[in-house]
């Protein structure tokens, strides 16, 4: 700050002239302000007194003191009006003042000359009258103005300044400015009075322009002038100009003035320069309660809650007594800290004997209600008999945030008993709660109350009503009707309308409203853009999303973190992951939400490798993982069978304290079971302090997919004993377990118990599991009957399920029927062609198999070969069928050929189709043999089912080379060990393949 004291101020007027002007609140004050000095005052070069009403053609205000209805022209000798005037004065003045003023006015009317004492007496009387005026005694105060002019006393500075203050207080700064223009003499009080009037009226551009005129007139500002100007600078964000004013203050030697120090702290804090505010504060000798409170307030504004509390402790140590405003600010800070800080502050204000004013009581109630301690809030509420609508609104806000609707209604009734009328904030809070919990009837009743009290047209109430109707009503017309009733809709009104239409599926209409709001002159904010981006989450909305992206770039809203995050999420939600990643890298500001949303979408789309790559970018951005992102990374590790990376993430969760998060623990359970680590999966589950339904579902699913069928069924009973009810996901895992274990009767019992015992309506997935259960057991006709009698239309998946069972049991007729039905629903699905063609081949009808494959080729349908993933070190290697791009491909292929020859030489019978040596399963398992330590278990994952040929190859390979392989495909986990597989081949492969397995194993 010391550097500023050396700056010269000769450039002051040009600096002030650069301040942005506003057409609404600037009326060429430089013409008004540069008035001609009279009566011995130095005349500023080139400054002239402006003419009356000069440059005021566009002003809506009119000069009140020229209104003949309020002023008296004494030479008209209108006794009646004069009597009314004096009687009005009598209502507000002492009797002696009234009599004296009446006598003096009569003397002046009769052209009697006043002596010096009489003139002084008249001035003192008028001064007492004007000084005691307020908005209720406005007319009486104005009646003094005309006598002052008639008696020639308008040059009295004290009287004129008080009259200027009266006009500013009662009519606003524009009317006061008319009086200011007619004042023959002005001093610093005159200028400061008008400046502060404009500043209080939030006419900040006019305040700065008037200050420019004051400097040009040669008048030196005082501390109150600077305080008003600094307030306007902070409101306009004119930081550069404010620093020049600081320099001027230093040059005038006012830098130690307490009033100015307080204003400077407030200015720097509101401009976002907390460190500068702290520097000003440190330069004070000791300060007082106001300066300390202002400093604490500045820290709160910067959201530095802990430092604000530390300053309070320093304030006490400096023996500066806090007042109620200090505690009000501190209680605001405690809302963002742990709840015990608020209680300590409450105890401290009691021990210091601070009177519990209504404002302080409201702050305490707000503190307790924000921390959901409504019992304490109600105790504070009734400590004193003083109540107002703000206090009760804080109580209602606490109840609504906690969604305690009954208590909200009770509070409203108590307000009515006390005679306190709700205001717009009261109704807004209740309506938001109604929108959150979908209480439509209560919302309509609140609407009725707002209508009766005339608050329906209030913008904030109208906005809350629009939101409530859009969320609670089934008809968007209800919300639109309320919107049309808002007199001047603001950006929140339009955003609520747009969000409502988008949520109801009317994306096109929401974009039309977006165009209309701009046509009405209302600029969208960041939340408006976020709402529109969320409406573009389907493939049909891609063109709108691209246009909106263009608008965001043009409007320079891309730098907004919330908009940037929404844009990243929208691109990912429509499957444009690469574009989403490009947008992410172009963001100037990335936070944990950016990456959390991105990896969640990537996981959903199956781009698990990209998810793990994000970890490095987060480290580069110095962004720490939170519980949500950690769960996504663990899910990606599980999908890729990247158990080493998963274990590293497990260690991070323990060090960072996120292992106590149930969502993280559930992801760990999922990771270990999907990677075939049964013991670690059990251990991760046992370490959950309070397992929820998702935890139990993860355990049951893991047991079932790893072949522990009986354990999975036992886990269901343990879940019930723990007091948790199974949900639809639980029964999917149970039916899957029964299907894999061949437990037909038990599976049917579980299926029927869903509706009868647990009140769960079976969904399409449950019927698919039931069809699979019956089909694997050979009950194909029963499975078909289930499909035909389902309460909803089948999808391609359920036909594929029964088609697989037909192939398993060699039922060609039913297989052809299932393929036909499935292709009618999805002609581009290659599974129907492939399974049917393979069945033709197995039944010796290879000509039909070739025709089916040719038909598939003619229709442009391509088989999805799937990808195999294997972890080596901290890297996941991905293999595609026929892939020759891997740097070790030559060694891998040679190893496959040599192993195949060796297996055949040993007498094993293998299928050997064209190109089978480049199947992704074989590439991955041989890569593991070449790159992992001997005796180490090889972990592989594939996004679709393993092919039967590769299944045979790996199973026989483990017998030959004494290596275990855990292979997770799209259906289950295959644990290959010593020539056997946990999937039990009799349930996994066709009747033709069973003979081959038996021969191979016996040989």
Q: Has residue 704 got a pLDDT over 50?
A: yes
* Long-range contact pairs involving 786-792 (C-beta distance under 8 Å, separation at least 24): 790/764, 792/764
Q: Has residue 372 got a pLDDT over 90?
A: no
> To which residue do tokens 């000084």 refer?
131
Residue where a domain stops, chosen among 709, 728, 762: 762
- Rounded Cα distance, 928 and 954, in Å: 12
Q: Has residue 65 got a pLDDT over 60?
A: no
Closest CA to 198 of 185, 187, 189, 211: 211
The more confidently predicted of residues 164 and 795 is 795
- Token pair for residue 559? 């730098």
Per-residue pLDDT, 44 = 33
Per-residue pLDDT, 66 = 34
> At residue 817, what are phi and psi to the nearest 5 degrees?
-65, -45
The answer to whether the beta carbons of residues 49 and 35 sit under 8 Å apart is: yes
Does 10 share its domain with 23?
yes
The answer to whether the beta carbons of residues 965 and 937 sit under 8 Å apart is: yes
Does 64 share its domain with 131?
yes
- Token pair for residue 216? 């040009």
Per-residue pLDDT, 126 = 63
* Averaged pLDDT for residues 258-274: 79
The more confidently predicted of residues 80 and 747 is 747
Per-residue pLDDT, 546 = 93
Beta strands in 644-802 (DSSP E): none
Q: What percentage of residues in the chain have a pLDDT greater than 90?
A: 33
* Averaged pLDDT for residues 318-326: 80
The answer to whether the beta carbons of residues 896 and 930 sit under 8 Å apart is: no
In a domain, 237, yes or no: yes
Element (H, E) at 871: strand 867-872
pLDDT band at 17 (very low <50, low <70, confident <90, very high): very low
Edge-to-edge strand ranges of the sheet holding 973-977: 875-880, 867-872, 938-942, 965-968, 973-977, 980-981
For 840, the 3-state DSSP assignment is helix
Per-residue pLDDT, 343 = 81
Q: Which segment, 132-146, 561-575, 853-867, is predicted with the most confidence on average?
A: 561-575
pLDDT band at 127 (very low <50, low <70, confident <90, very high): low
Q: Which segment, 40-54, 162-176, 308-322, 485-499, is predicted with the most confidence on average?
A: 485-499
669-701 as b/e: b if 16+ CB within 10 A: bbbbbbbbbbebbbebbeebeebeebbbbbbbb
- Rounded Cα distance, 821 and 799, in Å: 7
Output the CA–CA distances (angstroms, integers) from residue 308 to 305, 329, 339, 361, in the order listed.
5, 9, 16, 21
pLDDT band at 50 (very low <50, low <70, confident <90, very high): very low
Does 894 share its domain with 960?
yes
SS3 content of the chain, % helix, strand, coil (to 5): 65, 5, 30
Per-residue pLDDT, 760 = 94
Residue where a domain stops, chosen among 147, 166, 185: 185
In a domain, 655, yes or no: yes
The answer to whether the beta carbons of residues 427 and 446 sit under 8 Å apart is: yes
Model pLDDT for residues 133-143, shown as the tens digit of each residue: 544 445 555 55
Does 817 share its domain with 911?
no
Closest CA to 366 of 348, 382, 383, 378: 378
Q: How far apart are the first and last CA of the chain?
A: 92
Does 69 share its domain with 82?
yes
Q: Has residue 32 got a pLDDT over 80?
A: no
In a domain, 985, yes or no: yes
Per-residue pLDDT, 124 = 64
The number of angstroms, rounded, from the C-alpha of 137 to the middle of its chain's C-alpha atoms is 49
In a domain, 600, yes or no: yes
Cα Rg of the chain (Å, integer): 41
Q: Which segment, 94-108, 356-370, 649-663, 854-868, is predicted with the most confidence on average?
A: 649-663
In a domain, 314, yes or no: no
Model pLDDT for residues 228-240, shown as the tens digit of each residue: 888 888 888 888 8
For 331, the 3-state DSSP assignment is helix
* Averaged pLDDT for residues 847-875: 87
Does 145 share its domain with 74?
yes
Average pLDDT, the chain: 80
- Rounded Cα distance, 339 and 332, in Å: 12
Angle subtended at Cα 99 by Cα 93 and Cα 102, rounded to the nearest 5 degrees: 105
pLDDT band at 532 (very low <50, low <70, confident <90, very high): very high
DSSP bridge partners of 73: none
Lowest mean pLDDT among 168-177, 247-256, 804-813: 168-177
Q: Which segment, 170-179, 437-446, 984-993, is predicted with the most confidence on average?
A: 437-446
- Rounded Cα distance, 30 and 37, in Å: 15
The answer to whether the beta carbons of residues 799 and 807 sit under 8 Å apart is: no
The answer to whether the beta carbons of residues 922 and 953 sit under 8 Å apart is: yes
In a domain, 488, yes or no: no
Q: What percentage of residues in the chain have a pLDDT greater than 70?
A: 81
pTM attached to this predicted model = 0.67
Residue where a domain stops, chosen among 533, 558, 589: 589
Does 790 share its domain with 887?
no
- Rounded Cα distance, 577 and 580, in Å: 5
DSSP bridge partners of 966: 939, 975
Domain carrying residue 725: 691-762
Does 611 share its domain with 725?
no
* Averaged pLDDT for residues 206-218: 87
Structural domain count, the chain: 7
Does 916 share its domain with 967?
yes
Q: Has residue 147 got a pLDDT over 70?
A: no
The more confidently predicted of residues 612 and 119 is 612
Element (H, E) at 977: strand 973-977
Helix ranges (H only) for 574-689 are 577-586, 592-605, 608-620, 627-639, 643-656, 662-674, 678-686
- Rounded Cα distance, 126 and 772, in Å: 101
The answer to whether the beta carbons of residues 124 and 158 sit under 8 Å apart is: no
Per-residue pLDDT, 135 = 45
Element (H, E) at 136: none
The answer to whether the beta carbons of residues 394 and 365 sit under 8 Å apart is: yes
Does 129 share its domain with 22?
no
Angle subtended at Cα 101 by Cα 99 and Cα 106, rounded to the nearest 5 degrees: 95
In a domain, 127, yes or no: yes
Per-residue pLDDT, 118 = 52
- Rounded Cα distance, 334 and 308, in Å: 10
Q: Has residue 5 got a pLDDT over 50?
A: no
- Rounded Cα distance, 137 and 130, in Å: 10
Per-residue pLDDT, 812 = 93
Does 875 share its domain with 998?
yes
- Token pair for residue 782? 């029963």
pLDDT band at 661 (very low <50, low <70, confident <90, very high): very high
In a domain, 558, yes or no: yes
Backbone torsion region of residue 52, taken as left when φ is above 0, otherwise alpha when ψ lies between -120 and 50, otherwise beta = beta
Does 140 share its domain with 236?
no
């Amino acid at each position: 700050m010391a550097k500023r004291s050396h700056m010269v101020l000769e450039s002051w007027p040009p600096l002030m002239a650069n301040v942005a002007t506003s057409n609404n609140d600037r009326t060429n004050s430089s013409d008004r302000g540069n008035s001609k000095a009279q009566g011995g005052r130095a005349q500023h070069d080139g400054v002239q007194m402006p003419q009356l009403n000069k440059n005021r053609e566009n002003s809506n205000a009119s000069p009140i003191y020229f209104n003949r209805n309020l002023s008296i022209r004494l030479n008209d000798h209108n006794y009646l009006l004069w009597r009314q005037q004096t009687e009005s004065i009598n209502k507000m003045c002492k009797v002696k003042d009234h009599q004296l003023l009446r006598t003096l006015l009569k003397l002046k009317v009769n052209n009697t000359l006043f002596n010096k004492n009489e003139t002084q007496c008249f001035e003192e009387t008028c001064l007492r009258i004007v000084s005691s005026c307020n908005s209720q005694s406005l007319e009486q105060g104005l009646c003094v103005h005309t006598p002052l002019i008639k008696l020639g006393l308008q040059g009295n500075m004290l009287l004129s300044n008080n009259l200027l203050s009266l006009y500013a207080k009662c009519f606003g700064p524009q009317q006061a400015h008319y009086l200011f223009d007619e004042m023959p003499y002005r001093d610093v009080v005159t200028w400061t009075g008008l400046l502060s009037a404009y500043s209080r009226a939030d006419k900040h551009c006019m305040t700065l322009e008037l200050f420019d005129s004051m400097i040009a007139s040669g008048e030196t500002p005082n501390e109150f002038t600077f305080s008003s100007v600094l307030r306007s600078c902070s409101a306009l964000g004119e930081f550069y100009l404010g620093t020049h004013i600081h320099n001027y203050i230093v040059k005038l030697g006012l830098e130690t003035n307490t009033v100015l120090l307080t204003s400077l702290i407030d200015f720097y804090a509101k401009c976002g320069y907390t460190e500068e505010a702290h520097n000003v504060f440190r330069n004070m000798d000791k300060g007082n309660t106001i300066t300390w409170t202002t400093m604490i307030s500045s820290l709160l504004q910067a959201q530095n809650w802990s430092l604000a509390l530390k300053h309070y402790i320093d304030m006490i140590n400096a023996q500066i007594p806090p007042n109620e405003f200090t505690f009000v600010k501190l209680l605001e800070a405690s809302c963002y800290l742990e709840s015990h800080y608020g209680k300590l502050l409450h105890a401290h204000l009691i021990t210091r004997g601070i009177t519990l004013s209504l404002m302080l009581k409201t702050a305490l109630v707000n503190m307790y209600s924000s921390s959901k301690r409504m019992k304490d809030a109600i105790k504070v509420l009734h400590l004193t008999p003083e109540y107002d609508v703000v206090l009760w609104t804080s109580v209602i806000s606490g109840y609504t945030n906690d969604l305690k609707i009954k208590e909200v209604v009770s509070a409203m009734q108590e307000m009515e008993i006390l005679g306190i009328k709700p205001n717009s904030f009261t109704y807004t809070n209740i309506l938001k709660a109604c929108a959150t919990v979908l209480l439509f009837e209560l919302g309509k009743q609140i609407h009725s109350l707002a209508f009766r009290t005339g608050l329906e047209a209030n913008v904030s109430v109208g906005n809350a009503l629009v939101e409530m109707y859009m969320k609670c009503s089934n008809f968007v017309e209800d919300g639109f009707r309320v919107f049309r009733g808002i007199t001047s809709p603001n950006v929140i009104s339009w955003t609520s309308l747009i969000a409502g239409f988008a949520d109801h599926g009317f994306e096109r209409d929401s974009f039309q409203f977006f165009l209309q709001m701009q046509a009405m002159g209302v600029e969208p904010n960041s939340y408006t853009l976020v709402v529109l981006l969320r409406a573009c989450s389907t493939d049909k909305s891609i063109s709108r999303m691209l246009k909106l992206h263009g608008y965001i770039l043009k409007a320079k809203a891309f730098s907004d973190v919330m908009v940037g995050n929404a844009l990243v999420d929208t691109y990912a939600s429509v499957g444009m992951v690469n574009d989403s990643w490009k947008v992410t890298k172009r963001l100037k500001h990335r936070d944990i939400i950016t990456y959390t949303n991105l990896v969640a979408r990537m996981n959903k789309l199956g781009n698990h490798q990209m998810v793990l790559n994000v970890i490095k970018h987060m480290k580069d951005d110095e962004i720490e993982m939170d519980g949500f992102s950690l769960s996504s990374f663990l899910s990606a590790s599980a999908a890729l069978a990247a158990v080493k990376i998963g274990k590293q993430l497990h260690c991070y969760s323990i060090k960072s304290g996120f292992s106590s998060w149930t969502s993280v623990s559930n992801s760990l359970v999922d990771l270990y079971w999907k990677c075939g680590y049964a013991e670690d999966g059990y251990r991760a589950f046992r370490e959950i302090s309070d397992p929820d339904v998702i935890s139990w579902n993860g355990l049951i699913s893991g047991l079932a997919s790893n072949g522990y069928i009986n354990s999975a069924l036992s886990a269901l009973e343990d879940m019930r004993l723990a007091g948790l009810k199974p949900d639809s996901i639980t029964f999917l895992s149970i039916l899957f377990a029964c299907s894999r274990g061949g437990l037909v009767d038990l599976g049917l019992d579980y299926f029927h118990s869903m509706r009868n015992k647990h009140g769960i309506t079976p969904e399409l997935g449950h019927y698919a599991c039931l069809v699979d259960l019956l089909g694997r057991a050979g009950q194909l006709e029963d499975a078909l009957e289930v499909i035909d009698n389902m309460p909803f239309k089948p999808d391609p998946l359920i036909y594929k399920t029964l088609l697989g069972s037909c192939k398993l049991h060699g039922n060609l007729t039913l297989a052809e029927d299932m393929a036909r039905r499935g292709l009618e629903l999805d002609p581009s699905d290659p599974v129907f062609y492939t399974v049917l063609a393979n069945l033709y081949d197995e039944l010796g009808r290879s000509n039909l198999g070739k025709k089916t494959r040719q038909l598939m080729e003619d229709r442009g349908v391509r088989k999805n070969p799937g990808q195999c993933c294997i972890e080596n070190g901290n890297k996941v290697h991905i293999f595609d069928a026929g892939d020759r791009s891997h740097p070790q491909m030559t060694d891998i292929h040679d190893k496959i050929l040599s192993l195949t020859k060796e297996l055949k030489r040993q007498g094993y019978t293998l299928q050997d189709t064209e190109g089978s040596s480049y199947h992704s399963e074989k590439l991955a398992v041989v890569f593991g043999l070449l790159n992992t330590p001997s005796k180490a278990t090889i972990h592989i994952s594939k996004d679709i089912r393993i092919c039967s040929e590769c299944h045979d190859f790996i199973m026989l390979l483990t017998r030959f080379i004494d290596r275990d392989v855990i292979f997770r495909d799209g259906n289950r986990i295959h644990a290959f060990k010593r020539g056997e597989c946990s999937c039990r081949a009799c349930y996994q492969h066709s009747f033709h393949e069973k003979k081959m397995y038996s021969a191979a194993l016996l040989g």
